Amino acid sequence: MKQKDTTHFGYKEVPTAEKARHVADVFHSVAGKYDLMNDLMSLGIHRFWKLFTVSNSGVRRGAKVLDIAGGTGDLTRKFAKMVGETGHVVLADINGSMLNVGRDRLTDDGIVANIDYVQANAEALPFPDNSFDCITIAFGLRNVTDKDKALASMFRVLKPGGQLMVLEFSKPADWLGGIYDTYSFKVLPQLGKLFTGDAESYRYLAESIRMHPDQETLKQMMIDVGFERCDYHNMSAGIVALHRGYKF
């Protein structure tokens, strides 16, 4: 299928070939204070969302895990302890600034023995077929230009019997819509301006959430590239959803 000439970057239309650069600029800007902003934006609830994801991964000692868009290493930190010395975790991120922050933080905490760091595009993962027991991508899929291509790439490198877990902002319950919109488009950019000096990047993040597929659409996208037993679990009234699918 021929790739479209343009795609969305938040609410803007940009040339498809340029979206990755625009996204990179956003995360270069916010990398240093990414964790602080996550705490402020979610009132710390993002830690629960991530803990729920890891707790439902089924990852055991000796497993091999790929953490895509792993950023500052929240999930990688937890997985490295779960897989132990005989296991292995790869923290992958397309953005060098985010990857460096994650590497520095985990290294400073002495978590080094079973982790590799790879700068990689989710649409073309540089790993052999059937490499990983579990793949996670937390709050990263919405920034990918071609989500179908990325999901197919994840399917390829997942081992038979392995699980993909996509943790992402989604469509909240109707009763929450007005409050959520006000917070996203009024409060969030101001928090970004106050704590990072960058309101525009956080305005983009709010817009990117609205442009991301809803729960049922993403579930079908996973099925379409080959994943089976696909389901999702809404958290915080659907503000976030954890999608899961298996390769058999």
Binding residues for S-adenosyl-L-methionine: 72, 93, 121-122
Specify the pairing of strand 6-9 against strand 240-246. unpaired
Binding residues: 72, 93, 121-122
Contact status, residue 69 vs residue 137, Cβ threshold 8 Å: yes
**What is the phi-psi region of residue 110: left when phi exceeds 0, alpha when psi lies from -120 to 50, beta otherwise?**
left
The DSSP code sequence of 184-218 is IIIIHHHHHHHHHS-HHHHHHHHHHHHHS--HHHH
Phi, psi of 214 (to 5 degrees): -75, 180
- Between CA 11 and CA 142 the distance in angstroms is 13
Place of tokens 């964790």: 35
Contact status, residue 215 vs residue 168, Cβ threshold 8 Å: no
- Between CA 191 and CA 203 the distance in angstroms is 10
- Between CA 192 and CA 32 the distance in angstroms is 12
Contact status, residue 56 vs residue 245, Cβ threshold 8 Å: no
* Residue 238 to residues 170, 241, 243, Cα–Cα distance (Å): 6, 6, 12
